[in-house]
Amino acid sequence: MLNGCSPNGRMMEGIIYKGTSPSKNANPDKITFVQVDGAKCVGCDTCISYCPTGAIQGEPNKEHEVVDAALCINCAQCLIHCPVGAIYEEVSWIDKIKKALKDRDTVTVAMPAPAVRYTIAESFGAKPGTPVYGKLVGALKKLGFDKVWDVEFGADLTIMEEGTELVKRLSGELKKPIPQMTSCCPGWVKYVETFYPELLPNMSTAKSPVAMLSVMAKTYGAKTNKIDPAKMFTVSIMPCVAKKFEGLRPEHNSSGYRDIDVTITTRELAWLLKDAGIDLYAMDDLVADPLLGDSTGGATIFAASGGVMEAALRFASEKVNGSKPAKVEFEAVRGLKGIREATVRLGGKDVKVAVANGLKYAIPLCEAAKRGESPYHFIEVMACPGGCVNGGGNPILPGVFAYVRNQIIKLVRGFAKKLADIDRTIA
């Protein structure tokens, strides 16, 4: 507990970052990535209502806290919905990135996620959802990155891996259980590891897009560009705090080095650009560097709930049926409904799929799979409602939360007054 003391740290885009920079050998399971500032908390329970695991606890009108790092899946939905800005991030590698960008012997590689191109513009006054991909690449180059390799390339690899794996599971060639479940979202993966370990065989064996891209960067990318991978510094740029946890996982060293050196959120990148005096909208539109910068439209839709499912179905349909589907849009898996279902024809068979829009909707799907009663063959889960575009590392919308904050504060103060009146009456 913070005992009423505000954490020392750097304010970036309205959020406090304590600035802890874990070493590459740190155990992410022991790290609390988000925490509550007791001096600001008004005990409104908003964070508790958004926490899917009970990691945040506290009595109404009293200080709350993240009580267990093991329970927390690091989705940071509590952070972006806290009406009083009482939740902060523990981990930030900003100073390490600045140092690497200045070091001429270090080859810095920026790896922005698909969602970042649609959310970072909000930090520069644009409407939510404004696409700024070309200007984002230009800004990263201006900031000093030697290479910009797109996580959408990794997403395309994920599509092929997950789609192929699904086909092999369905045919019996791969002896793994049905339903197959997506493995892109680190919050969802940690949730299964913690609460449903018996379902781990159902999880796709495919790494997440950024995990795939980072390995490619330090192997194929380094070799092709004649770069010593030992001097390469990869920066994962994510709309997600849970990706910081993922980047530290010990298994991400397939390249022979740490695949992902550091991870930052969209908010931190916006701060870095502003700190360097870079106006996003003044940048020329550029494209990502060759080899690991190309991608398809299937990769782009990874940012939204249902996107991973739709992209994988497109690939699996073509692979099984031997030709491109007449209609590449699988609209039934789109939208914001809690659980969306669809039936897709693959190789003459009906394949039932489901998409959970947020972790709370995944629970009944997990329970059915645990009992061996799931009617589905393929399930997509993203921890954040709406998908990565609503991830906990995105910019905070000041206007919306200013209104909510005022309403919550009024409510809590009124509640506190009523309790005080009751206490005086009893006394």
What is the set of active-site residues?
162, 165, 184, 204, 243, 246, 251, 388
Instruction: State how far the Cα of 93 lies from the Cα of 19, in Å rounded to an integer.
Output: 7
Residues 86-101 as b/e (b if ≥16 CB within 10 A, e otherwise) read bbbbbbbbbeebeebb
Q: Exposed, middle or buried by CB within 10 Å (0-12, 13-18, 19+), for 195?
A: middle
DSSP alpha helices (H): ranges in 115-208?
A: 116-119, 133-143, 151-171, 186-195
Task: Please work out, in degrees rounded to the nearest 5, the angle formed at the alpha carbon of residue 270 by the alpha carbons of 334 and 213.
Answer: 60
How many CA atoms are closer than 13 Å to the CA of 194, on its beta-carbon side?
19
Instruction: State how far the Cα of 158 lies from the Cα of 156, in Å rounded to an integer.
Output: 5
One-letter amino acid at 328 equals: V
Check: CB of residue 236 under 8 Å from CB of residue 243: yes
Task: Please work out, in degrees rounded to the nearest 5, the angle formed at the alpha carbon of residue 4 by the alpha carbons of 3 and 7.
Answer: 95
| Unique residue bearing structure tokens 């910019």 | 395
DSSP state of 220: I
395 phi and psi, to 5 degrees?
-60, 145
Going by C-beta distance under 8 Å and a sequence separation of 6 or more, which residues neighbour residue 184?
158, 206, 208, 209, 302, 308, 382
Instruction: State how far the Cα of 31 lies from the Cα of 22, in Å rounded to an integer.
Output: 9
